[in-house]
Chains A and B, each alone.
Chain A
Amino acid sequence: KQEVTQIPAALSVPEGENLVLNCSFTDSAIYNLQWFRQDPGKGLTSLLLIQSSQREQTSGRLNASLDKSSGRSTLYIAASQPGDSATYLCAVTMYSGGGADGLTFGKGTHLIIQP
């Protein structure tokens, strides 16, 4: 059974800092990995999708890397801003070969950027 772990569970940093959020998964046979952002009481906003054949994806100040063999992904946020405060969730899709391919999520990292 796939398990996804995110470290740290919570993080508080001053505005302007660069930071790294970590995600690990137990089964490396993934199809893709997706990073989401969730604001309190809201739905999920997709940030980045990395296919299993890719090593990284970038969008603006965000960069996500994937090391499938070691079961790890990192989300790098450059020059953090108070508006980046949210919970960040990592999720993987298994290569199902015709079966279910629902996302398996971690519990998230609760990020606070101090003005």
Chain B
Amino acid sequence: DAGVTQSPTHLIKTRGQHVTLRCSPISGHKSVSWYQQVLGQGPQFIFQYYEKEERGRGNFPDRFSARQFPNYSSELNVNALLLGDSALYLCASRHDRLAGGQGNEQFFGPGTRLTVL
């Protein structure tokens, strides 16, 4: 069974541009979350989507947006890129939002490395 997949693997953009990152969850998982990880830090929560609805947002500006599609895949969009947006963007999926037991375990994809010049 395939794990969480993300595309692209690497991306180089310039300041002011827009970027779209994509994520496909593990089959059967309905919850997708996005995280930003800058070098030397732990990941920071950006968004969580469940059943195509936004269920939570971290402390990120409105330049960051996301959506989830009927097949539970997701896109993260970042507008007006800044140098500080350079980071590893991680997507995680979970079987069911706050379901009991191991259904709460989050599984991460390999990430998209974004470099803003």
Contacts and interface: CB of A to CB of B under 8 A. Distances in A.
Interface of A: 4, 31-32, 34, 36, 41-46, 49, 51, 89, 91, 93, 96, 99-108
B101 interface: yes
Contacts, number: 75
Contact of B56 (A31, A45, A49, A102): A102
Nearest to B103: A49
User: In which size bucket is the chain B interface?
Assistant: 20 to 34
Given A100-B57, A102-B45, A43 B102 contact: no
B13 interface: no
A40 B43 CA distance: 14
Interface of B: 4, 6, 33, 35, 40-48, 55-58, 88, 90, 92, 97-98, 101-102, 104-111, 113
B110 A108 contact: no
Contacts of A44: 43, 90, 92, 108
A43 B45 contact: no
B108 A36 contact: yes
Nearest to B47: A102
